[in-house]
Amino acid sequence: MPELPEVEVTRLSFAFDIAGAIIISVRMGKSLRWPLGCCPAQLAGRSVLAVRRRGKYLLVDLDHGLLLVHLGMSGSLSFARRLPPAGAHDHFEMVTTQGTLRLTDPRRFGAVVYADSEDAPQARKLLGKLGMEPLSDVFDVDRFHAALKRRKAAIKQVLLAGDVVVGVGNIYASEALFMAGIRPTLSAGRLSRPRSVKLHAAIGDVLARAVAKGGSTLRNFSSANGDSGHFQLEAMVYARQGQPCRVCGTSIKTLRQGQRSTFYCPHCQKA
């Protein structure tokens, strides 16, 4: 489910409530992407200072060390005073004085990794190569254009790679390219400056709107406090192959790029 907006909405839904909590116990299944990286028992007694986000990672700051949480493809977090009994897909649980944080993830591409600090090797491995935060001031249009200039790969795949700009997943990559009128297969280095500017704006725009709407998704997305449903951002192209473009009526096309589906309008995105 989660691209940047869903991760950010998840963060906002429990960051305030968990801040200041003291960890009572941590339970970790062996079945997520990586092992926790420390003994769960040694986290007991530490307190939760804050929850930040970097790309699609949530960083749970403790008074010593931090947890890196990733939702993978199918993960979601719950945080509440009381949660229903754990099910087969609940792989991580952290009981605190203010509630229990639980990661539910059927496909188990998600992860919870402990690191002593953001500079520790376990954290650097995951965060070290991440690109600019699209909703922050560091997402500078000059740096964006310059970074694209250095790349020959298709613009869609450069966006997905996350080393230029983070948080743009498979849905929003297609949506942003549509908004900017750019063909997903175009080599990133061939984007003119005006088109880079347009894409830069489109990325910020589509992500900010999705966050404002509470995390857009095609299927049900629910944040850590259980809110879900009513928000739904209408996709212009994603998963709309064969349907008429909402702007010009041309049939939306799909293709595969790096084993992921891409959607675009052949008329609105000519090159």
Tell me the catalytic residues.
Answer: 2-3, 56, 260
Binding mask 122-151 for DNA (x = CB under 7 A): ---xx--x--------------------xx
DSSP letter for 222, please: B
Binding mask 207-236 for DNA (x = CB under 7 A): ----------xxx-x---------------
3-state helix, strand, coil in the chain (%, to 5): 30, 25, 45
d(CA 130, CA 151): 16
Q: Which of 65, 131, 169, 181 binds DNA (CB under 7 A)?
A: 169
Cβ neighbours of residue 95 under 8 Å, at least 6 residues apart? 23, 24, 25, 26
Q: Which of 159, 171, 191, 245 binds DNA (CB under 7 A)?
A: 171
For the CA atoms of 256, 262, 267, 271, the dihedral, rounded to the nearest 10 degrees, stands at: -80
| Alpha-carbon distance values, 36 to 88, 115, 230, 267 (Å) | 19, 9, 35, 48
Binding mask 66-105 for DNA (x = CB under 7 A): ----x-xxx-------------xx----------------
Q: Which of 101, 155, 158, 206 binds DNA (CB under 7 A)?
A: 158
Please report, as ranges, the residues that interact with DNA according to CB under 7 A.
Answer: 1-3, 6, 33, 55-57, 70, 72-74, 88-89, 106-109, 125-126, 129, 150-154, 157-158, 160, 162, 169-171, 188, 217-219, 221, 258-261
